[in-house]
Copies of this chain bind each other. A is one copy, B any other.
Amino acid sequence: MLSDECGEQRAVLAIDRGCCDLQSMRCGLCAGLAGEDLHAVRAVGRRYALRRGQAVAEVTGAGTYCANLTTGILQVLRPEVDGSRTIGLVFPGEIIGDLNGGRPSDDAIVAITDAEICIYQSVDLERVADRHPSVRRALLGSAFEALSQARRWMLVLSRPSARERVAAFLVEMAGRLRGVNADQNTLELGLSRGRIGDLLGLSLETTSRQMQALARAGLIAFPQRRQVRFVNRGGLEKVAGLAFRPPTGAAV
């Protein structure tokens, strides 16, 4: 286990007080808020910069925090008998932690790219939400959005064949990073083949082989090892078995 990848120390660095600089306030929670409400939320949030490999120990600990990913990608690592397994990803705009202070989990949340998060104490956020109804509405919207994404992810995982799963994974990644990356056709994976295999329930070798096969079929290319360029997105979606689905979220 890389110390790089699993520093359990509180490896975060406060860079600012107040969530979301006013230039780019598309961070899920703040999007949809304005004026007084936005100000109130900003007042209780604190922005942190995470370097690749650092853990969000604050969020995983007592469960009294709630955070909002602004930029970058995080992974959720679950300890297992033989090392840890990547069981989920977090994309910009998504919320991690739990307002309700649910059972604390022993999952680690680690940045797989440099990232920025806004951290709130749950109690603070609750207090703001009590006074500003639109804040709780925004939270509810984020939660529904997260739910919709989780259910889409379940579809990826229930694909029977490895080929379909890998293709669906790439399509899903591309969809989630829409608007984040400058180049719409190139995707920075950040994850090793092994971690992707964890996510998909496949071995790292099978993951690698399937990706190679997709590349040989002319659907994708690898400018660098952890970069994917989409050459034939339609074809990829067809392999993924998602060809005729609308590209984004669906109710229930």
Which residue of the partner chain, among B99, B158, B251, contacts A201 with CB atoms under 8 Å?
B158
Decide if A63 is an interface residue (CB 8 Å cutoff): yes
Task: For A147, give its contact among B146, B157, B203, B249 (CB under 8 Å).
Answer: B146
Q: A85: nearest residue on chain B (CB-CB)?
A: B158
Q: How far is the CB of A209 from chain B (nearest CB, A)?
A: 16
Interface residues on A, range: 35 or more
Q: A103-B246, A140-B143 are in contact. Are A98 and B251 (CB under 8 A)?
A: yes
In the complex formed, the residue of B with least CB distance to A102 is B251
With CB as the reference atom, state the residue of chain B lying closest to A59: B252
* Contact B252–A109 (Cβ < 8 Å): yes
B154 close to A249 (CB less than 8 A):
no
A76 CB to closest chain B CB, in angstroms? 6
Q: Residue A189 at the B interface, CB < 8 A?
A: no
Chain B residue with Cβ nearest A244: B81
A158 CA to B165 CA, complexed, in Å: 11
Cβ A148 vs Cβ B102 within 8 A: yes
In the assembly, what is the distance between CA of A96 and CA of B151, in Å? 12
A136 at the interface (CB under 8 A from B): yes
Residues of chain B within 8 A (CB-CB) of A124 are none
Contact in complex: A250, B105 (CB < 8 Å): yes
Question: What residue in chain B is nearest A107 (Cβ atoms)?
Answer: B252
Tell me if A185 is interfacial: C-beta within 8 Å of chain B: no
Cβ of A103 and Cβ of B250 under 8 Å apart?
Answer: yes
Interchain CB contact under 8 A, A154 and B153? yes
